[in-house]
Amino acid sequence: MADEIDEKLLEQVKQQGEIVRKLKAAKANNVQIAEEVTKLLELKAQLGEKNGEAPSKLLLKTPKGTRDYGPEQMALRLTVLDKIVAVFKKHGAETIDTPIFERKEVLTGKYGEDSKLIYDLKDQGGEILSLRYDLTVPFARYLAMGKISSIKRYHIAKVYRRDNPSTTRGRYREFYQCDFDIAGQYDPMIPDAECIRIISEALQSLDVGPYTIRLNHRLLLDGIFAACGVPSNKFRAVCSAIDKLDKNSWSEVKKEIIEEKGLDESSTDKIGIYVSRFGGIELISELREDSELMKYESATKGLESMELLYKYCNLLQVTDKVIFDLSLARGLDYYTGVIFEAILTGDDVGVGSVAGGGRYDNLVGMFDSKHKSIPCVGLSLGVERIFNVLETKLNKEGVKTRTTEVEVFVATAQKNLHEERMKLLSILWDAGVKAEQSYKRNVKLLAQLQYCEESGIPLVIIIGEGELARGELTLRDVMSRTEISIPRAHLIEEIRKRL
């Protein structure tokens, strides 16, 4: 039996090795290669354990479902995050930060079925802690704890979910969330519409291609469920099944609703008809003609809200980006009003949401001893997916991202001039010029120039014995490979002219 497993594992290791080799040969996306390498390492580790190998030989890998980010990946990530922060700041947001872990009881009862994915810390004496699962629950805890009644804040930080990374391609156990929320007692739909405008601005500024923002309203969904005969205690369960419609077919979702959530077939079929509907503002008047649905106050209220939202979307110039989609449900329990989700609609991109959010008016109240709540609406940009889309695009276009901002490289043409390089660097740094040298005393000029071409450094200063004697320096333009002599005294001026 043990041998059988080993054979199977060995075969898996072989196959996985083949996958990695093929991807590397095809110069595939780095992320994809890294993912497959991780799988390979894990299989090898399993094989090692089964063979009774001592764990003395350190397995060099990052924890399952996590990865390192090298300079190229970080350069892209920081560019993306900078653009997003610029949009958030354009809308007047402040930023806050909360600890990476919370007292476990803070997270309890907030995520429904997904609570099993929370990472717990070991009990080392003291409090029982868990890693944060999202940024919204810590935000609500922050508001309640500080008795903060209004704030417009963004928060970009990592969150942790013990998802099975192998089954969900491109999803990691450690990933960035990028949230913008407006908390406070305000007039209906004014902050909500701004959130939709912000998603649109962010996606526009990131240049990820065409996109659509799907809209729906939790009250309207509740009205629909009621009209279809769903008992109210099953609303959230049915909702989380409907949420899977972006990945699964209706027949699969129907099966789940009937078999797992225990709803009868006729009610389920009625729901199926509703959630297949989508369109623009005209859908509001169409639904108003549905007298059965209009018996339910939550439905009429939901439609009223949607009408107001459409009006404001129009003022904020985003109507052409939105679609009213009754199949949008959102998985999380805590939404109470409008919900939204942005998807990319270009050719090359797989389906999947790149932003989402909605109104959650009762979450803060769960933390307040008197259940005093603060109405909130917010959005979360799916930056990991955005990084992926952009990385693939850059790879395809053969664009190389610079990983440093060095403006000037200080080179020497002969041996034993490294002290002259250091003197010059000191002057450049004092003047605020981004500059570097080789950390080797003696290095061939050609090697220094090649390094500059590869790293995209625009200028080189070359120090040679002749130049030193004349009080001059050679300034080389890396792209054009042209060189000129300049007096040392004019160094900074000449560099500034060219940057």
Does 218 participate in binding a second copy (rule CB under 8 A)? no
Closest distance of CB 396 from a second copy, Å: 23
DSSP string, 173-193: SEEEEEEEEEES---TTHHHH
Owner of token pair 């190389």? 400
Q: Is 128 exposed, middle or buried (0-12, 13-18, 19+ CB in 10 A)?
A: exposed
Closest distance of CB 409 from a second copy, Å: 9
- CA neighbor of 359 nearest in space, from 384, 385, 330, 386: 330
Does 232 participate in binding a second copy (rule CB under 8 A)? no
SS3 88: helix
Does 114 participate in binding a second copy (rule CB under 8 A)? no
Does 78 participate in binding a second copy (rule CB under 8 A)? yes
- Cβ distance 94 to 183 under 8 Å? no
Does 430 participate in binding a second copy (rule CB under 8 A)? yes
Nearer to a second copy, 162 or 393 (CB): 162
Beta bridge partners of 178: 156, 381
Closest distance of CB 230 from a second copy, Å: 31
Footprint on residues 157-186 left by a second copy (CB under 8 A): 158, 160, 162, 174, 182, 184, 186
Stretch that binds a second copy, among 220-228, 248-256, 421-429, 480-488 (CB under 8 A): 421-429
Closest distance of CB 180 from a second copy, Å: 13
- CA neighbor of 191 nearest in space, from 179, 183, 201, 202: 183
Footprint on residues 308-337 left by a second copy (CB under 8 A): 311-312, 315-317
Does 426 participate in binding a second copy (rule CB under 8 A)? yes
Could you say which of 144, 293, 379, 459 contacts a second copy (CB under 8 A)?
144
Footprint on residues 44-63 left by a second copy (CB under 8 A): 55, 57-63
Stretch that binds a second copy, among 136-144, 214-222, 238-246, 252-260 (CB under 8 A): 136-144
Q: What end-to-end distance do the CA atoms of the chain give, in Å?
A: 69
Q: How far is CA 461 from the centre of its chain?
A: 41
Residue 441 half-sphere exposure toward CB, CA atoms < 13 A: 3
d(CA 239, CA 125): 40
Annotate each residue in 90-109 with x if it binds a second copy (CB under 8 A) or - if it does not, as one string. Answer: xxxxxxxxxxxxxx-xx---
Does 451 participate in binding a second copy (rule CB under 8 A)? no
Footprint on residues 241-300 left by a second copy (CB under 8 A): none
Q: How many residues interact with a second copy (rule CB under 8 A)?
A: 95
Count the residues in the chain: 499
Q: For residue 120, what are the contacts with CB-CB under 8 A and spacing of at least 6?
A: 104, 128, 129, 130, 131
Footprint on residues 186-215 left by a second copy (CB under 8 A): 186-187, 190-191, 193-194, 197, 201
Element of type H or E holding 74: helix 71-90
Could you say which of 367, 376, 412, 460 contacts a second copy (CB under 8 A)?
367
